[in-house]
Chains A and B, each alone.
Chain A
């Protein structure tokens, strides 16, 4: 398939280009918010984990164990930072993709309109 189709009954907004891609950009926009929600959930649980580990270190009464728990809390923060950053990347990526696809869709529509007007 060569070319694009941007409107049509039941598939408004679906862009399909040859062997490249197809997508409903508005769904990606909504998905971006859903993933941001997951990121928020992650931060809440991560905070609980770090609080628990740090609290354990303070209540252990055993120097080696307290040190190990403190280390685990530090490692947890690094890991949770990485996970949170990855969620953010997905959310941002979906948002940016939605915008890019929408811009492409609009540009294609304008271009196609110009072409067909020229044919009249």
Chain B
């Protein structure tokens, strides 16, 4: 039988949030119309003429266009996420159906009719999971594209953009703290989380310069802190409850896995070795421990074991039991990394692994043997 993973995610929540986003997008459309009406009527009501009045009209016209331009990318994101949610639901249903069919087949003593049904369900589920993964990648690209559109609502040479570019950069209190990097450069600091979602702190481009703290929604409750428009004074930064990990300075690296902090030292050490062993794959840190420490670009999961620190109180039988437990877990592969282990211990472990059934050995990746 296939080893299919149930896709994570909450389609109903995504659909609800897509509706909220669509409503907000429409709200920006309405705000743009109101902006035009209000700003035009202000000038007309004041019978305002002259250079200052003309500059006002140019600025507010550009502002209204910028507000109107927000609607389209937000609608694009909402629509794409809604499509994604539908395929996610289907994939989850198909995997659940397969799990049920497989269980029925097992209970029946693997009667051929039941096994045939389970195999059909497995094929359906695999197809649905593949479709889900593909649409997830496509929607991610669509969201990134829409975000780019969202970042250019005023146009490069409009009066609003020109004015924003001339504004002083607010004091970046955190980026100026010792040990947190060069305060001149934009910083992106993240405290990733798990169930509660990552906390993201960004100091975007120097021309704008606000500090933004986003705490993704979770049971603890979201907090969003932004330097209020026009407030160029000192900023207040909150540390929300439930801080789940250390701040990682993302500005110093081209790419840092957002969940790297989850890994122990030995697990962190194994990741580049695994990547070197399979250069054609892309390995990332799993957001949750449930499915192992890493996953690859094909969605396969990897459970790591092997920590040289355990040599201080080495117990071979305990390690062998641990191997057994790992190969029985739901991860696609078990990665045994013996880098730093003594030759004697490596020899014992090699012999033990070689004694395992072929099916289990096939799912073990050996590093440092």
By a beta-carbon cutoff of 8 Å, the part of chain A in contact with chain B is 14, 20-25, 27-28, 30-31, 34-35, 38-39, 41-42, 45, 47-65, 67-90, 92-94, 97
Contacts and interface: CB of A to CB of B under 8 A. Distances in A.
Nearest to B53: A21
A95 to B, nearest CB: 12
Contacts, number: 243
A86 B140 contact: no
A56 B202 CA distance: 19
B46 A61 contact: no
Interface stretch (B30-38, B171-179, B322-330, B336-344): B30-38
B45 A24 contact: yes
Nearest to A44: B27
Interface in B117-154: 132-133, 136-137, 139-141, 143-144, 146-148, 150-151, 153-154
**9 smallest A-B Cβ distances: which pairs?**
A61-B9, A21-B50, A31-B42, A61-B8, A84-B229, A27-B46, A62-B136, A88-B230, A72-B147
Contacts of B7: 61-62
Interface stretch (B66-74, B102-110, B266-274, B355-363): B66-74
Contacts of B47: 14, 22-24, 27
B169 interface: no
B97 interface: no
A74 B214 contact: yes
Nearest to A26: B46
Main secondary structure, interface of A, reads helix
B224 A50 contact: yes
A73 to B, nearest CB: 6
B88 interface: yes
A94 B228 CA distance: 20
Interface string B38-54: 11011001111111110
B227 A81 contact: yes
A60 B202 contact: no
Nearest to B224: A50
Contacts of B244: none
B147 A23 contact: no
A21 B51 contact: yes
B245 interface: no
Nearest to B138: A65
